[in-house]
Amino acid sequence: MKKEFDYIWTDKKRTIFGLPISFTRYFITETKVITRTGLLSITEDECELYRASDKKLKLPFFQRLFNCGTIHLYVTDVDTPLKEIKSVKNPRKVLEILDRQINIQRDKYKIRGRDMIGASDDLNGEF
């Protein structure tokens, strides 16, 4: 099978004891975050990094015991406004990779967070 992307980071969702026994896999490329789920029937969800508006890192107690955490990525996407990268190893390192790639993509398209908010939000509905 031919590799379609150059992955910057990839990992599986961790389950009990931080073991990667799951059929959910996460990929970060230069431009996208990809979630692939399933064993026989595979579903992939892609999100362009420049669309990210906010990030949140959650470190629940049992995930923290095994150096795992969950990243919530809020994006301006119709079908998936909240992208979750659940229970991955070294979540702070992954968050740094995401930060770097998001900023690179925003600079490439000359977009910042304020540019993704509609004009009516800035004017409070007044003209």
* 9-108, CATH topology level: PH-domain like (2.30.29)
What would the pLDDT profile of 82-113 be if each residue is shown by its tens digit? 999 999 999 999 999 999 999 999 999 888 75
Type of residue numbered 24: T
Output the CA–CA distances (angstroms, integers) from residue 110 to 39, 75, 85, in the order listed: 39, 17, 26
Residue 11 has pLDDT above 90, yes or no: yes
Measured in whole angstroms, the distance separating CA 63 from the mean position of its chain's CA atoms is 18
At residue 30 the predicted structure's pLDDT band, cuts being 50, 70 and 90, is very high
The per-residue pLDDT for 115 is 56
Domain segments of the chain: what residues?
9-108
Q: Is this prediction's pTM over 0.75?
A: yes
Residue 49 structure tokens? 């990094």
The per-residue pLDDT for 3 is 58
Q: Yes or no: say if 53 and 76 are a contact pair by the CB < 8 Å rule.
A: yes
